[in-house]
Chain A
Amino acid sequence: MFKVISNRLEQGYRTTNYPKTPIHLYSRYRGLPEVNPQCDPAIVRQCADLCPQDAILVEERKIDLGRCTFCGECAQVADGGFVRFSQNFEMGTARREDLITNGSLPDLAAHAKAHFKKLFGRSLQLRQVSAGGCNACEADTNVLGTPFFDLSRFGIDFVASPRHADGIHVTGPVTHNMKAALLATYEAVPAPKVVIASGGCAISGGPFYGSSEIVGDLNSLIPVDLYIPGCPPHPLTTLHALLAFFKK
């Protein structure tokens, strides 16, 4: 008992005050990119050739955050002449096309469907489905339950049964071997229900794009309401997206 108390005193109170007070992530974290619209086309082309994800659209001078793994290689070209990554982790969008960006994203809270806020603003129960990911997305979603983030204080929880859920949170590129189980889980969630695509894999196939063993686009199977980019998304990216999209 003494050890329980002494550890409790040593650990103290650790929960973040976000979103009331902002959090500044370390300077090496790569969040929302800043794109230079006046960049020399040759440099843009160089970035596009280097990009392992083919996420850079040369003509439009845009980056597809749904494909990007935020590896940062493009930011090394010409000392960030075309792309620099900011530390802004708030990157969730309601529409797939908004992820193809020149560095600005629409305000997620304003784009959220009003009836979702009404239905789920006070209580949101999600069923997580891992559909072929590398477990990084799953792991960084799981940490939302740890004391620092403490997701349940917002009335948001991950539940065991799809029957108890208001929607599904999907990670992974949707392997053929997981497709049937994913669809069965989706069917089991009572309507009205939400679908969240978390991580580059669920949005575009991520690092596995082009594989014959995956579907590679969750939205082609079931309609996605909320996109959370990243490889994996930082827990704060997920937290922000959930709060902005669902909370009043």
Chain B
Amino acid sequence: MDNLLQIKNGEVVERQRIPQVDFPRFFRIMTDFVANNGYIVQLFAYTDAGRTKLLAVVRASNLYVIGTEVGSEFPSLTLTIGTKFHLFEREIAEQYGIRPAGHPWLKMVRYHANVTGRPDVFGNDYRVDIPGKYEYFRVQGQSIHEVAVGPVHAGIIEPGHFRFQCAGEEVLHLEIQLGYQHRGVERLLTEVPQKRLPVLCESIAGDTAIGHNLCGCQAIEALASLKVEPGARTVRTIALELERLANHIGDLGALSGDVAFNPPAAYFGRIRGEFLNLLLVLCGNRFGKSLIRPGGITQVMTEEQRGIITAKIKELRPEITHVCDLLFSAHTVQARFEYTGTVGRKLADQLGLVGYCGRASGLEYDVREFFPTESYADLPPNTNKVTNGDVYSRAMVRREEIMHSLTLIGMLLAKPEEPHRPVAMAAHRLAPDRFVVTLNEGWRGEVSHCLLTDSEGKIARYKVKDPSFHNWTGLAMALRNQEISDFPLCNKSFNLSYCGFDL
């Protein structure tokens, strides 16, 4: 662990305190760290005084940071150490034109030109609009057929391309090509005036508006030394749990619909909306947009909102319990959920899955418990009982987390009222030459934002990571040797973000 600097979630660190080691040493440290139950939170490139550097934020039971410098290429960590690095390295190659030499699957991530002007690692011409100028991996053989799906899907869903290699009904390999939603978020976050930052963070992934904006605002609060009142923290915690409830409940309904069991699909579809409406009660927007700003929240929770939320949860809790019982005790549902799309613990660990996808495979990691922010240090953690890594497990984790979140909100609402004031958006002076990383357990898992400021206190690099970045490969692996007809069910059990990934 020597050379790694231990940091806290949301702690501001002077950039010069981040240990800078030469690449061979960085390589050895990463090898040891990952071998000892370590995971990657962030690994990205940035430019510092004309030189290209890598920065890694890693976690075991604590958080650590370390940096190194690279030239136009470096030996691939994926090749030697393992799969946890594969997408991070591909992203570095795409964003900064640096080649991870020997990467076993060096393929573009989102299809856009790099920021450095170096020759493109993938040989793409970005004047041509469409991604997919990539040779998909092909299984050879006379009886093999390919199925291509997307980018436009048969529903109201975000775009992405799925390429299946099948032998009859059996999927031998699934390749997922995203990037269609790429809006240049990270670059915008360094270019726009501060007043636009929260609105942008809320639109990284609309279903995780609270999760992402919380990360963004906590980072600004740290860099500008802003204090947040405990009452505001309570409301922010409630909002993050409401977001989790709305999404988990909606997904259980959609899973039910995908196995053609319609009653829970209809009921959960409506109940999901009730939770979105509670976010609207808090702040006027069904996704919680506009609620959180650096320094606190824009609208205080008075007795009126507290009363509405308390009454609604009291009304909905038995309904949710009953519909869950209906869903999980139906034999037809069990038959379709169990042993479908299994990702075992070993594979989940190799891929570094997070959130309910990781927990359903037995990886007990929850940011709320490990690196608590807001009010979470005072709240009890959740435990998962079903961890077989199949669709059933991912659904059960949702069910358990729904009941847990309802309890958490109940506890937060039962606290004596903590007076707090609304904050208005204002531009704050950020500490110069600083680094901060924030993590929160969004409903999909570990959301993380990492900021580096320059000598004038401007944001020099803004790195965003949605939990989907870790988990998409998990979905591809879950489909191995499954029937292709199980794809919608597997996909919904992961329910990953396209826009959160594409940025």
Question: Which residues in A have some Cβ–Cβ distance to B below 8 Å?
Answer: 3-4, 6-8, 10-11, 14, 25-26, 28-30, 50-53, 69-73, 76, 85, 128-143, 145-148, 158, 160-162, 172-173, 175-181, 185, 201, 206-208, 210-214, 231-232, 234
Q: Is the CB of B152 within 8 A of A185?
A: yes
Closest B residue by C-beta to A211: B184
A238 to chain B, nearest CB (A): 11
Interface of chain B, main secondary structure: loop
User: Quick check: is B311 within 8 A (CB to CB) of the other chain?
Assistant: no
Q: Does any Cβ of A come within 8 Å of B123's Cβ? A: no
Contacting residues of chain B (399-455) with chain A, CB-CB under 8 angstroms = 422, 424-425
Cβ of B204 and Cβ of A134 under 8 Å apart? yes
Say yes or no for B280: interface residue by CB 8 A criterion. Answer: yes
Contact of A177 among B111, B152, B277 (CB under 8 A): B111
* Of the residues A11, A160, A206, contact of B155 by C-beta under 8 Å: A160
In the complex, what distance in Å separates the CA atom of A134 from the CA atom of B498?
A: 9
**A180 and B289 form a contact (CB under 8 A):** no
Say yes or no: A142 contacts B156, CB within 8 Å: yes
Most buried by A among B154, B282, B287, B298: B287
Contacts of A11 in B (CB 8 A): 266-267, 270, 319
Please tell me if the beta carbons of B287 and A232 are within 8 angstroms of each other in the complex. yes
- Contacts known (A3-B326, A210-B188); A176 close to B129, Cβ less than 8 A: yes
Q: Knowing that A10-B319, A147-B266 touch, tell me 7 more A-B residue pairs with CB under 8 angstroms.
A: A3-B322, A52-B195, A53-B199, A72-B284, A73-B290, A128-B155, A231-B203
User: Can you name 17 A-B residue pairings with CB atoms under 8 Å?
Assistant: A28-B280, A29-B284, A30-B285, A69-B289, A69-B290, A73-B298, A130-B159, A136-B203, A147-B269, A148-B270, A160-B154, A180-B130, A201-B203, A207-B200, A208-B203, A213-B187, A232-B206
Cα distance A50–B270 when bound, in Å? Answer: 36
Bound form: Cα–Cα A216–B124 in Å: 23
Which A residues lie within 8 Å of B159 (CB)?
130-131, 178, 181
- A132-B289 CB under 8 A given contacts A72-B298, A181-B180, A214-B184: no
B318-334 interface mask toward A, CB cutoff 8 Å, 1 = contact, 0 = none? 01001101100110000
A139 near B181 with CB under 8 A, answer no
How many B residues, CB 8 Å from partner?
Answer: 72
B202 to A207, Cβ gap below 8 A? yes
Q: Contacts of A25 on B, CB cut-off 8 Å?
A: 280
Q: B286 contacts which chain A residues (CB < 8 A)?
A: 140, 232, 234
- B110 at interface (Cβ–Cβ under 8 A)? yes
Residues of B within 8 A of A133 (CB): 158, 181, 206, 499
Complex contact A175–B182 (CB within 8 A): yes
Q: Does B283 contact A (CB under 8 A)?
A: yes
Q: A140–B288 Cα gap in the complex (Å)?
A: 13
Residues of A within 8 A of B266 (CB): 11, 146-147
With CB as the reference atom, state the residue of chain B lying closest to A137. B206
For residue B83, CB closer than 8 A to chain A, the reply is no
Q: Are A177 and B203 in contact (CB under 8 A)?
A: no
Residue of B nearest to A128 (CB): B156
**Cα(A140)–Cα(B304), bound, Å:** 26
Task: Name the B residues within 8 Å of A143 (CB-CB).
Answer: 269, 272-273, 276
**Cα-based distance from A145 to B497 in the complex (angstroms):** 21
CA distance A145 to B130 in the complex (A): 31
Q: Known contacts A146-B270, A207-B200: does B156 contact A178 (CB below 8 Å)? A: no
Q: Cβ of B205 and Cβ of A72 under 8 Å apart?
A: no
| Minimum distance in angstroms from A108 CB to a CB of chain B | 22
* Residue of A51, A128, A133 with highest tally of chain B CB at under 10 A: A133
A222 to B112, CA, bound (A): 24
When distances are taken between beta carbons in the complex, the residues of chain B under 8 Å from A161 are 154
Are B269 and A70 closer than 8 Å at their CB atoms? no
- Give the distance to chain A from B256, nearest Cβ to Cβ, in Å: 12
Q: What per-residue 1/0 map shows which CB atoms of B370-387 lie under 8 Å from chain A?
A: 000000000000000000
Nearest-CB residue, chain A, relative to B111: A177
CB distance from B14 to the nearest CB of A (A): 30
Q: Does B157 lie at the interface of the complex (its beta carbon under 8 Å from any beta carbon of A)?
A: yes
B263 engages A50 (CB within 8 Å): no
Closest to B287 in A: A136
- Smallest distance from the beta carbon of A81 to chain B beta carbons, Å? 14
**CB distance A70 to B273 under 8 Å?**
no
Asked whether A214 lies within 8 Å of B284 as measured between CB atoms, the reply is no
The answer on a CB contact under 8 Å between B181 and A177 is: yes
The CA-CA distance from A198 to B112 in the complex, in Å, is 26
CB neighbours of A137 from chain B (8 A): 206
User: Is B179's CB under 8 angstroms from A177's CB?
Assistant: yes
B184 A213 Cβ-Cβ under 8 A: yes
Q: How far is the CB of B460 from the nearest CB of chain A, in Å?
A: 19
- A28 x B283 contact (CB < 8 A): yes
A43 CB → nearest B CB, Å? 14
Contacts of B144 in A (CB 8 A): none
Closest to A181 in B: B151
Is B130 in contact with A146, judged by CB distance below 8 angstroms?
A: no
Contact between chains at B322 and A28 (CB < 8 Å): no
Pairwise interchain contact B181-A172, C-beta atoms closer than 8 A:
yes
B299 at the binding interface (Cβ < 8 Å): yes
Q: A30-B284, A177-B129 are in contact. Are A214 and B183 (CB under 8 A)?
A: yes
Interfacial chain B residues near A178, Cβ < 8 Å: 151, 159, 180-181
Q: Does B196 contact A (CB under 8 A)?
A: yes
CA distance A146 to B129 in the complex (A): 36
Q: A134-B206, A139-B206 are in contact. Are A70 and B284 (CB under 8 A)?
A: yes
B155, B185, B282, B497 pick with most chain A CB within 10 angstroms: B155
Is the beta-carbon distance between A206 and B269 smaller than 8 angstroms?
no
**Do residues B203 and A206 form an inter-chain contact, with CB atoms below 8 A?**
yes
